[in-house]
Structures are given as C-alpha cells and as structure tokens.
Amino acid sequence: MEKYYFGRLTAEDLAICPKRFDNDEDGHPVKHVVGCIGLWFPDGKENAPISYFRLMNIDSGRWGGMVRCGKGPLAVQNGGHVDDLAQRGCVMNPPYSKLSDDPVVWGFNVEDPLVEYRYYGDGRVSWKEADILDVTLEPFPYTFFIHRCEQLPTSTWYTNPCIIRGVYEGRPIVGMACHTDQHVPQDTGDLEAAWQNTTDYVVANLAGLRDDGRKEFAVVKGFADHLVGGYWLEGEEPVVDGNARLIGEWVRLPYVDDGTCVMPDFEIQIGSKTIHFHGKWGLKGWTKGPNLDKHGQSQVIGDFYEGDVPYEHGMRSDGAGKKNGHEPA
C-alpha cells in the first residue's frame, strides 16, 4: 500500500472512519479533528493579511481564531476575532455527521457563537463564523494523503488546498485555504493523547494561483529530519517524496526565552523540485495576543516559488492573469 500520494477526495473520505484508511495497517482510524486554515488580504496585498485557523473535535469545539499577522516573520499578531468565536467545549448540535445522502453532505453546527461547517460530496466546503465570516472553499483537484508511516506514526492525515470566496466583516474576499482532517487509529487507546503525539512536527502548506491561472501546491509534514513531501503544478504530474528535505536556518524568537525557533526563509526539496519560501509575516498561535505560555506553536507566512526564477502568485483561477486586490475574481 502506498503510504503518501496525491489523490481525489471522494465522498467516502468524509466519513468518521474513511474507507481509504479503514485497514489493519492504519489501525482503522476515526476522525479526531476537522480543521481549516486560510489566508486573505481584506486591505490589499500591501497590508498584512488575516490568518484563520479553525480546529474542531467531531463532537465539541476546540479553538479558532482570525488574527491580523504581524509585519515581518518574527513578529506577532495584532488583534482580531477570538473572543467572539466559538472556543473549547462549545456544544455541537448536531455533532459531525452525515446530514444528507443526496447530495452527500457532512457537517456540524454550533449555535452560539455560530459555527456552521458543510462538506459536500463534490469537494466544496462552506464555513460560517458568527456574523464575521461566510465563505465557500473551492477545492483544488488533488488532495495529499498520508497513511500511518515512519514520518507520521500515530495518525493518518489529508490536506486539500482550496480557493476561498465569500465575505469577511461584510467585505468580499478571495484567498487561499487548506482543509485538513486528521484521524487517529482506534488501537492507540487514548485518542487525544495519540493525536497530541503528532504535534512535535514540521508542517508547511504552500498553495497559490500563478499569473496564468495554474494552481500550485507544495506540502511537507513529519519530523524535522524525516519529512514526507508532495508538489503539484496544474498541467504536470504530481511529485511525491518520502525523504523530502527542509533547508534553512532556525532563528530563535526574540520575545520568548524558551528556545522556540522558526525558519523565516527556507527551501524544500521534493524529488526533482526545489521550492523557495520567503517569510513576510508572523504570528504565535491564533489567540488575540501572542501565546507566550505555549512553547513552540509559532507560524511564519509568506510567498513561494518553484525553480530558479522567482514569480508571484495572483488571485485568479480563470487563467486571465494576476489580480492583486481583495475583490473576488
């Protein structure tokens, strides 16, 4: 069985125990967390973006935040929506479940503050957060899947890059997102403890639309010295590498003394592909202010390109060229 690959997300992958992972090698895992991470520029690309991360259990809230990134890769976030979003322990009604067979719809609800999640069998995802965010995620055709393996020994995982379109604070936005689900094998006993054992890792999700409209996606995940990587550019065959390399210099965060480091600029080598990343904004957790009590859990956000010649990513998916503003294409 292939351990990591690009594939097509199907309606069966939305189940609590997806058929794709329902085998002895993967431990017949059950969905443990449902997540979405997104980025958009409500004030234009010359200003710091909003970073959004929503992570939910399948039967209760976990946490979520929409924060304005700090300028510079070692900076911290500058406020945002946290206290007015559903957080840990909020009640789902209904919890994550199949809501419809025709069409296939999986999802959950939190009533106050509102969180409404719908995952459709054709791959579309809709998210609503209070009266702040109402967006649809339009998926890329490929999803990156990782079965239980050396690089991710305690769980299975997939991530699907998407284009965000909708409304934030009453304004139309377009941006990028990755929808992710993580499943924990039932043979591990304590599912939460098993999931937490996967948090000592490096993960990078890089997605964008080139000026000519082609979708592009790179991902690495695993432990720092043993990474799984995948790269796909629309019109080319996907590249997968079980020994992907992350090359760069770790830098200590200047505002904590616990040794937390980030890598502001780096290269990812995935097979024959070299992806260059340049950090431009920073945050430490998706809390209103930097999460100084939490060791690690710091993020760098920026732009990337593959190969030797730098280029930028636009915001259009119709092949008509670049769009730098925040209005939907």
User: Which 3-state string (H, E, C) describes 218-246?
Assistant: EEEEEECCEEEEEEEECCCCCEEEEEEEE
Query: How many other CB atoms sit within 10 Å of the CB of residue 53?
Result: 18
Q: Are strands 251-252 and 215-223 parallel, antiparallel or unpaired?
A: unpaired
Low-confidence residues of the chain, pLDDT below 50? 316-329
CA end-to-end span of the chain, whole Å?
40
pLDDT of residue 321: 37
pLDDT of residue 7: 96
pLDDT of residue 164: 96
Euclidean distance between CA atoms 152 and 158, whole angstroms: 12
pLDDT of residue 223: 78
pLDDT of residue 109: 96
Euclidean distance between CA atoms 21 and 24, whole angstroms: 9
Euclidean distance between CA atoms 110 and 66, whole angstroms: 17
Residue owning tokens 């993960």: 203
Euclidean distance between CA atoms 128 and 76, whole angstroms: 26
| C-alpha torsion sign, points 299, 305, 310, 312 | negative
Angle, vertex CA 227, rays to CA 221 and CA 233, nearest 5? 65
Whole-number mean pLDDT of the chain? 89
pLDDT of residue 1: 82
Instruction: Render pLDDT for 103-133 as a digit per residue (tens, 0 to 9).
Output: 999 999 999 999 999 999 888 999 999 999 9
Residue owning tokens 């069966």: 12
Euclidean distance between CA atoms 286 and 91, whole angstroms: 21
Q: Are 300 and 48 in contact (CB under 8 A)?
A: no
- What distances in angstroms separate CA 285 from CA 147, 289, 299, 300, one per listed residue? 27, 8, 7, 11
3-class SS of residue 81: strand
The alpha carbon of 176 is separated from its chain's Cα centroid by a whole number of angstroms, namely 9
pLDDT of residue 198: 62
Q: Are 64 and 87 in contact (CB under 8 A)?
A: yes
pLDDT of residue 200: 52
- CA quadruple 173, 87, 75, 78: dihedral, nearest 10: 60
- What distances in angstroms separate CA 242 from CA 4, 48, 68, 149, 270, one per listed residue? 8, 34, 34, 10, 8
